[in-house]
Structure 1
Amino acid sequence: MTDTQTTTDRRVSTTDLALIASFAALIAACAYLGAIPVGGSGVPITLQTFAVMLTGCLLGPVRGFLAVALYMLLGAIGLPVFAEHSAGLGAFTSVSAGYLWSFPFAAALAGFLVKYVAGPRRTRAIVVFLCSMAGSILVIHPMGILGMKLHLDVSFDQALHYDLPFWLGDLVKTTIVALIAAEVHRAFPRLLERDHEHA
């Protein structure tokens, strides 16, 4: 490997790390904003899912997963970056634990769909919307429902009822994610090319 190649790889790696750290901070900032309690489950509506899905749609599956995982690690070690300024390992067994555990996988799925399925069409907001919504429908909501069922010891029907109020907010947040991500990909068409298997 030449010196030029080594320098380029180092630059790419540094850029990846900076993006991962920056988006982890973005998720923390969005979670820190005021939470709105809804329904009877005790799980509040926050901007966490907005930031998580934006992370996946912009960074791709690998860096998106790592950024959300870093955010979760920061909360696990005690930084108050979770909803309602909470922190610690207790958040991973709370009523909202299912949603929290789903975040890195939802970001990875949305990132995978935007990068490999949408491809050059990722500059169209409707395409990004569908990719992001898939992560929400297939990962976030099922895991959130399962988490509430286990924590509250209720039926799946009751847990689904608790989850329903989040859908309207998700539609709004996903729309904003799609609009932002499509514009960013239009401005930086090679952004996802940097999402390596070894970020």
Structure 2
Amino acid sequence: MTETVVHVTTLEQWKSVLDVWFKQGYEWHGTGKSYHERYFDDGWRFLLLNKDNDILKPTWGRQSIEYSEFMAQQKEDNKMATYYVTQEQLDLIKDLKNESIDKLDYLLLNSNQAHETFNGLHVKESNALLRYLGGDDTIEFKVKEQLYRLSRIDDEGDKVYLTFNFGTPDWDSVKDYAFTVPLDEIKQWKTPAWEIEKAD
């Protein structure tokens, strides 16, 4: 393993880097899993994970990466969990995250709006939302992309959907088997016989 040195500028960043390494099973040499805020208070701004898998306070002048780059690497390494929600849900999540008042009070005061907005979230997404609002930096929410499908009415008056059978365009009466893609791609398959519609 190579050494990793991360440059941080705030105590919050210091703790975030340590949280990542603690979750991966690393700890300070001989002192366990502690934030050691006193190091930060004393002016240290670099965290080192050395080749012996110990977290140490490094000496000044080592080659380092910035905090933002480190967190981006964690995301690339699939340490970041991404949940897809509607734009309305994302807007409310951002409002909740930025609220200066207690988030639970905010939810209680706006329970009807929250219930309507979050209706349809799965249990896994709901649990992730609570962790995210609690400060978990390994969770992010993004707007799920709207998907579309093609449908038409066949000779018997039944609605059918475009599918593919071994790479060849075909049709099926079950909409769950429909070919669903973003709008730009579905337009490439549109002909006068087929109508574009939003997928559920």
Asked if these proteins are the same fold (TM beyond 0.5), I'd say no
How high is the TM-score relative to the length of structure 2?
A: 0.21
**Which of structures 1 and 2 has the larger relative contact order (alpha carbons within 8 angstroms, sep 6+)?**
1
Looking at secondary structure, tell me which structure has more strand per residue. Answer: 2
* Bigger-Rg structure (1/2): 2
**Higher-helix-fraction structure:** 1
TM-score by length of 1: 0.21
